[in-house]
Structure 1
């Protein structure tokens, strides 16, 4: 029989909120510019650097603006950069439910300072979490085991008693190697997640 979990780690992107970079950031590309999609995707080149905290907001905005051909204000860039999120209400309900069941719930995300600051300030669900492990604050990014070990130590987690939800297979793979109870979440297969969660909680 599965023992009840005592904690849960939640990724943010595509678990608690949908992400839509291309549609949001397309407004920063000048009208008539060649291949705006390629310009936007080129920002991934420094994604890890930004999310590990090695690249400052100011330097990222300057570099990204040049890549996109954007000549507007840094404030408008920030506003647009933070407009990529759309809540996944069903998963907000899951987080609230697990909290009500006395599980320690912890945010566990590769993110950057601009996104983290905006999400925490604008979505009430994040107030319910007992803690957070953000890549830009730790200086390591998933799937590097270092950030998982940081989460374990910082929040007193026993992986065998901790649920871990993430959308990326490589992140889940490290979680499994370290003994977490993992589920690779997909919004289109939410029903599979519900069945898995019921099994973990001993429901039904």
Structure 2
């Protein structure tokens, strides 16, 4: 197969096209676990990396969180927490979705997001616009979470491109630095208007 050398805008998802976690969600999950917000937040994020990277299932992740909080990890509690967690990350920015769609007339458009596999399945089912993109890479599905270079390399290989063909857009500077380290162009997201100007200049 020959490379497709059209330029590619590679987007992060959360904090760029979709909103950050729903306000109050961590408090709700902490209350379900009968624990403090600080203790829950620490357990929630401490055990998150292998879940995001597809090395742990949702059941394993929530079992680890509940055990860290000295709480029983019964199936009902795990499922309730899992569904609350998925819902907490489900809000999209409609203006950004519309902007992403308009870009497809000018460039290839792809996604690279840190998201567990079960969250990814729910997002794909709920957001039909994702199926119109040139590629969607979810960390829980590809086994690599940003800033691991393997996630970026996955996109390079699948899209049959060179790193320099990409403009990677993320709201986290460390992820943009990781993309640049393998030869991609990078933009730290700080709003749609600033992004549109950067994309116009790059294209």
Matched, 1:74 2:75: no
CA–CA distance in structure 1, aligned partners of residues 167 and 33 of structure 2: 47
Deviation at 1:11, TM superposition (A): 0.9
2:159 corresponds to: 155
Do the aligned partners of 2:111 and 2:136 also contact (CA within 8 Å) in 1?
Answer: yes
Alignment partner of 1:168 is 2:164? no
Normalization by structure 1: what TM-score?
A: 0.84
Q: Does 1:144 align with 2:154?
A: no
Spell out, residue by residue over 1:108-160, the C-alpha distance to the aligned partner (whole angstroms, 9 max, x if none).
11211121111111112212212122222222221122221121112212222
- Aligned to 1:141, the other structure's residue is in SS state coil
Cα pair 1:22 1:40 within 8 Å, conserved: no
Q: Are the aligned partners of 2:120 and 2:140 in contact in 1 as well (CA < 8 Å)?
A: no
Gaps of 5+ in 1: none
Q: Is the alpha carbon distance of 1:42 and 1:118 closer, same or farther for their aligned partners in structure 2, counting shifts above 3 Å?
A: same
Would you say 1:195 and 2:191 are equivalent positions? no
Report the counterpart of residue 122 of structure 1 in structure 2.
Answer: 126
Asked if 2 retains the 8 angstrom alpha-carbon contact of 1:52 and 1:138, the reply is yes
Q: Deviations along 1:69-101, whole A, 9 cap, x unmatched?
A: 587543322220111232112221121011133
**How many residue pairs were aligned?**
195
**Which of 86, 90, 93 is the equivalent residue of 1:88?**
93
* In structure 2, C-alpha distance between the alignment counterparts of 1:50 and 1:191, rounded to whole Å: 33
Distance 1:37 1:147 in 2: 31
SS in 1 for 2:118: helix
Q: CA deviation at 1:191?
A: 2.4
Secondary structure of the residue aligned to 1:29 is helix
How far did 1:175 drift? 1.2
Structure 2 unaligned blocks of 5 or more: none
Spell out, residue by residue over 1:9-46, the C-alpha distance to the aligned partner (whole angstroms, 9 max, x if none): 11111111112266113222237945323312321111
| Residue 47 of structure 1: how far off its partner (Å) | 1.3
> What TM-score results when the alignment is normalised by the length of structure 2?
0.84
CA contact (8 A) 1:166 1:172 kept: yes
2:28 aligned partner: 27
* Residue of structure 1 in register with 2:41 after alignment: 40
Partners of 1:174 and 1:92 in 2: CA distance: 25
